[in-house]
Each structure stands twice: as C-alpha cells, then as structure tokens.
Structure 1
Amino acid sequence: MFRSSQFSRLSLGIAAIGALAITGFVAAPSLAAEDAVVIPAPAMDAPASDGVQTVVLSGGCFWGVQGVFQHTAGVVNAVSGYAGGNKSTAQYDTVSTGTTGHAESVQVKYDPKKISYGKLLQIFFSVAHDPTQLNRQGPDSGTQYRSAIWTSTPEQKKVTDAYIAQLNAAKVYSKPIVTKVGPLEGFYPAEAYHQDYLTLHPNQPYIAYNDLPKVENLKKIFAENYIEKPTLVSGAKLTD
C-alpha cells in the first residue's frame, strides 16, 4: 500500500511516462539519462585518512540519492533516513508533512583511501541532485526535500564551504547553490521498505523516470567511480 507521498511520486511518474508515450517514445526503465551538469573537481579536498568516514547528504527523495551512492566505488554503505529534526518525529508519515525539520537524507559511509570526500561532493552536486532548487527537487516540494550537507568533521565543513564558493564563483549553474551546510547532530535510518528502493523496484514509474537516469549519469560522467553491482543495505535478492 502506498502512503500519501509515495502515491504522489507514483502518480507523477505515471503522468510523465504517459506524456512520453503520447509523443511516440517508449516508456521503460531504460529511459535515456536526463542531462547532468558536468562540474570541475574541488580545488580543495580532504586528506586520505585511515578508517571509514561518514557524511549525510540531503538532495530530494532519498531513493535516488541512495541509489547513486550505492553504485559508487569506495562507498561502504549508503542508508536512507532522516536528518535535521528530532528522533521522535523521524518517521516517514510525519516527515512527509514538512513540519518536523527533517530532510530525507542518505548517510554515506566511505573509505577515503578509495574515494575522496571531494569526489563524493562532486558526484552529489553533478548527478545526484540539483543544488539550486530551494526546498524542492524535481517533482517533490517541501522542506523535507531540501538540499543539505551534514558534516561530521571540521575538515569536511571546510572542504564543502570552499567547493560551494568555487562552483558559485565559476557560475557553473544558472542560479546560485542553495545547499545548506552544517554539523551532523543526528541521523535516523528510514523504514526498511525505503532501503535499496531503486535497486529493488526499477520498474516503479517514479524510479524509472526520475532516479535511474541519475545512476546512468554516474556511469557516464564518473565511469572510474562507478560499480555495476550496488552495495545494498539489506542484502536482499534483486527483483525485476
């Protein structure tokens, strides 16, 4: 059974795919990837320290953001969840009201000796979401879909601020970046049915139209960082 926000995502996907069908295009999960913004790498990056590092990224619906980073080499785990609000309100139905302070987010744990923090940011800003959209992302609107980066170290904060300033100065986008940057104060994993959603439901219309193109863009633009087999949270069998 679809909850209210899930129904909205489903109906928007069906409407978009239906529009393509009317114009003569065939709707399928293998839709050609939408245009992504090719951006320069960060001029400043964090050092390749020992041990697994963590950052939490918010960029619209967590299904697509999680899917992108599950196909990124060097990422140890990518978990969908909520950040920005209290533990007591970290449930999907409540977060979907847009009144909790939470944003749909993805906790990314990564090995800095296999992928740098700066490269993760480059992927996030280039293919995972549009950082110029305020309190929305694609068909989804509300503060729960805002663009944000929740850092876990002072070095991450320094690199993130410098990179945003670099991209804005270079006028990479037609509008300024609106991504909020702040320290991570809490992350709460989402319900089990939200985990690995892109991989387990590739034929769901919202996923096919909005999120699979992000993974295709990752494969195309960041080929050296792309892995074909996703790193799943659940370890569940893949389904069609």
Structure 2
Amino acid sequence: MRKCLEYGLEFRGELLNFRKDGTPMMNRLCLTPIRTDDGTVSHIIGIQVFMEANIDLGPVSCNLWKESLYTAEWFTEESASHRGKTVSVDLPSRHRRCGLLDLSDEVLAQKILALLSPRDVASLGSVCTRLFQLTRNEDLWKIVCQNAWGVETTSILEAVPGTRRLGWGRLARELTSLEGAAWRKIVVGGAVEPSRCNFSACAVGNRLVLFGGEGINMQPMNDTFVLDLGAASPEWRHVHVSSPPPAACMA
C-alpha cells in the first residue's frame, strides 16, 4: 500500500481489522489515484468494503506453556537460536525484529496476556502463529476473565451449566460483544415516586440502584431506590441512606 501511494499506483487488497469488541473483520480496500493534465496525483479515491472474517478465536484445551511456532513476519535471529532453528545470515527485508517474542511463553502468558482485557487478547491472537497458540489456551482465558470481571463473577459463571462446554474464550467474546445477549421482559412492582428526570442509575450485581434527579420545577431529589432483579417478585424499594447521593447526571 505504501509503495502504491508513493509511486501513484492503484492499490487493491484486503486488510484484517478488528471492531471495538475485538471481533475480526475483513476490509476490502481499493485506492485509485486521480491525476491532473500534467500527470501529477492530485487526489486519491478510496473505496472500502467491510466483510465478516470467519476466524475462530476461541480456545482449546492445551498446555499453557506449550512451545509455540513463529511466523515469518515475527521471526528473529535470537528467537531462532533459542529454539534451535537455523537462520540464514541474509534475512529478507520483511523479517522485522520483535523483542517481545524473545520472551518465554510463560512470561508472555502470565505477565502480559493475562493482564489484558478479553478484547485485546482476542486481537493479539491474530498477530502471529505463536500468539495464536498461546491465546487458544483455556486456563489463560479463565485468568483473563477473572482479572476483567472479578473472581466472584467468574465463579458464578463457572457454575452455570454449559460454561465448560462453551469455553472461556468463547464466553468472553459473547459477553464482550453481547453475541449471546437477549432482551427479557420483566414485570416489576413498586414505583419511583415522585416522578423525576436527570436521575442517575447503576447496576450492582443483580440490583439496579436509582438515585437523585430533578423533580417538578427542576427541584433536586436526594432519595435512593433499589430494584433487586434476583428476587422472586422484583419491585422498587425506597432505601434510607445516611448521606445524600452524588450530584445527579444525565442517565
């Protein structure tokens, strides 16, 4: 692409990209230069078509510290000698040095990948063969989920039937991208009175907390209501607190 832009040539190709939730997608790109009468490139027309990338980023059970392969794009002379591989002295120009992959699998998994968000781990799995193999590990994904959602939430999810069959990698992708989410209508009792606007709300486990807001004539409200969705018959309850809630914001 850079060469085509530099020399004013037409470029056609496909680029692997990722959405904000970490799911892969393919960009089919076409760049066509527009020249003036004297042959100078004045503009470049770009056409981009988005397509779904059918890439399975889910994990399979394997040894967390299993020896992995390198791809040519991430090949280094140091890593090759460490793995007992032979390397030609004159490496092609496309072989770039990457010090990150000189680290052992244990360090990469425990000190780097395990500390990232599920979305970032899924993205790194498409960088090279070695990272792809590391991110296919079930134990690594469980650690990533624990760091992202907390040990208590992960334990609850682990007790749900089908979690082991689905796998932590697939579960993280579905929860991050909301692939497995579905709306469910719930009839609740009680009421938040008096009526208000500009209130604040947050979720704490299965409970929805609503506080503050503005009533008639923009009168500030300083009460708090809680809705427990885990109850058999959920209903709004007014909760007495020792101090007023934070300043209201748009919800």
TM-score (norm: length of structure 1): 0.20
Kindly indicate which of the two structures has a greater share of residues assigned to helix: 1
TM-score after normalising by structure 2: 0.20
Larger Rg: 2
Structure number with higher relative contact order (C-alpha < 8 Å, ≥ 6 residues apart) = 1
